[in-house]
A and B are shown apart, each in its own frame.
Chain A
Amino acid sequence: MASLKELKGRINSVKSTQKITKAKQMVAAAKLRKAQAAAEAARPYASRLAEVMGSLAAKVAGQDNGPLLMRGTGSDQRHLLVVVNTDKGLCGGLNSNIVKEAKAQARALIAAGKTVTFYLVGKKGRAPLRRDYPKAIVENFDTSTVRTPGFDEASAIAHQILAMFEAGKFDVAHLVAPKFKSALAQDPVTTQIIPVPAPTAAASADAVVEYEPGEEEILEELLPRYVTTQVFGALLEREASEQGASMTAMDNATRNAGELINKLTIQYNRSRQAAITTELIEIIAGAEAL
């Protein structure tokens, strides 16, 4: 049986933990709204770009001399996994889910006889992936130096990946990133970014479009931008997912702390009463003995 003083100390310590988790929850809730708005605002650009690319790709499709980013290197032996993790913890199982997905992908690829390398974005994926694939990590990108990673960071990441592609370091690149569904559910998804998957161009070109300079030149410029947009989208999703997961995790933590406080308080009161009762019995027994 813990002493009264010890119990009181524990209650106080749980209370201060609860204060922290509650504060973090509220911060996450506020940030989530902002992150969601940012993700929302980025959608028009992405959808327009996809539209433009769809109509262009339909025109260039079938030609052997299309841009390298579209037709790939002709082999699919070396794979690059771009894993987007968060920089900070306190967000429940989000990062471990992302890492799990990345590992599952890597295992499947390795089982198929391919070689896999990693490009890691965010701090939290480094340690667990390095433990399993110590030699496969080629690059880390640090997003923790800026407050909210924006298009500049996405562009830096994309340029680095594209430079690696042009240098012939890999054949196929996949992006592993969380997809924000709700504050409760953020599932990691894997999408192929290089070679750029040919979009399902349903939009039949109804009018003759004039291109300046040429179709291929435009496509040549458009594809890197498309990759950048994909990475940017992943960063935004990550931001929203992090805050959503953090909010849920901290809500749970706050509730657990509340339950623990109740339990400890009951225990504290019981032992206090027991102490009083024993004291009374002692006094009565003493008085009777006289």
Chain B
Amino acid sequence: MLHFELVTPARLVRSEQVYMVVVPGTDGEFGVLEGHAPFMSTVKDGTIKLYKSQGVAPEEIQVQGGFAEVSAKGLTVLAEHVEG
């Protein structure tokens, strides 16, 4: 499982184990699974798709601006603003 964290300046929105996350990168969407190579990208305004487990309909989170960082620890998205 992939450790996913979504952080905004005001609070830590999510910190959980998920199957896959699709992030709207500036240069195009990318999906992150467990064991992804170290990677960093800027994020444009859009929707993060959160797959809790394989084959399940994704949960959608609207984010505005920020960064995504994939390291050995998992995926961290630093977003300026999160809807809801």
Measuring CB to CB, which residues of chain A are less than 8 angstroms from any residue of chain B? 38, 41-42, 44-46, 48-49, 52, 56, 150-151, 154-155, 207-213, 217-218, 221-222, 225, 228-229, 232
Q: Are A212 and B25 in contact (CB under 8 A)?
A: yes
Q: Are A209 and B39 in contact (CB under 8 A)?
A: yes
Chain A contacts for B27, CB-based, 8 A: 212-213
Closest 3 pairs between A and B when the two form their complex, measured CB to CB: A212-B41, A41-B11, A209-B38
Residue among B9, B10, B41, B81 with max Cβ neighbours from chain A (10 Å): B9
Docked pose: A269 CA to B27 CA in angstroms: 83
Q: Are A48 and B38 in contact (CB under 8 A)?
A: no
Contact with A along B34-77 (1 / 0, CB 8 A): 00011111100000000000000000000000010101100010
Instruction: State how many angstroms separate the Cβ of A196 from the closest Cβ of chain B.
Output: 16
Nearest to B28 among chain A residues (CB) is A212
Instruction: State how many angstroms separate the Cβ of B76 from the closest Cβ of chain A.
Output: 6
Instruction: State how many angstroms separate the Cβ of A120 from the closest Cβ of chain B.
Output: 22
**Which among A42, A48, A225 is the interface contact of B10 at CB below 8 angstroms?**
A42
Q: Are A48 and B9 in contact (CB under 8 A)?
A: no
Nearest to A215 among chain B residues (CB) is B40
Q: Are A218 and B42 in contact (CB under 8 A)?
A: yes
Chain B contacts for A42, CB-based, 8 A: 9-11
Complex A-B: 6 CB contacts under 8 Å: A44-B12, A52-B67, A150-B10, A209-B40, A210-B40, A213-B42
Chain A contacts for B38, CB-based, 8 A: 207-210
Q: Are A38 and B10 in contact (CB under 8 A)?
A: yes
Q: Are A218 and B40 in contact (CB under 8 A)?
A: yes
Q: Are B41 and A45 in contact (CB under 8 A)?
A: no
Q: Are B80 and A225 in contact (CB under 8 A)?
A: yes
Q: Are A211 and B11 in contact (CB under 8 A)?
A: no
**Which among B8, B40, B71, B80 is the interface contact of A212 at CB below 8 angstroms?**
B40
Docked pose: A154 CA to B76 CA in angstroms: 23
Chain A contacts for B11, CB-based, 8 A: 41-42, 44
Nearest to B27 among chain A residues (CB) is A212
* B5-45 at interface with A (beta carbon < 8 Å): 7-12, 25-27, 37-42
**Which among A49, A150, A209, A232 is the interface contact of B78 at CB below 8 angstroms?**
A49
Chain B contacts for A217, CB-based, 8 A: 42
Instruction: State how many angstroms separate the Cβ of B37 from the closest Cβ of chain A.
Output: 7
Chain B contacts for A221, CB-based, 8 A: 42, 67
Q: Are A211 and B40 in contact (CB under 8 A)?
A: yes
Q: Are B26 and A41 in contact (CB under 8 A)?
A: no
Docked pose: A210 CA to B39 CA in angstroms: 5
Chain B contacts for A154, CB-based, 8 A: 9
Q: Are B72 and A207 in contact (CB under 8 A)?
A: yes
Chain B contacts for A207, CB-based, 8 A: 37-38, 71-72
Instruction: State how many angstroms separate the Cβ of A17 from the closest Cβ of chain B.
Output: 37
Q: Are B10 and A212 in contact (CB under 8 A)?
A: no
Instruction: State how many angstroms separate the Cβ of B65 from the closest Cβ of chain A.
Output: 8
Q: Are A52 and B8 in contact (CB under 8 A)?
A: no
Q: Are B78 and A45 in contact (CB under 8 A)?
A: yes
Docked pose: A221 CA to B8 CA in angstroms: 16
Chain A contacts for B9, CB-based, 8 A: 42, 45-46, 151, 154, 228-229, 232
Docked pose: A38 CA to B9 CA in angstroms: 10
Contacts A209-B40, A222-B67 hold; do A41 and B25 have CB atoms under 8 A apart? Answer: no
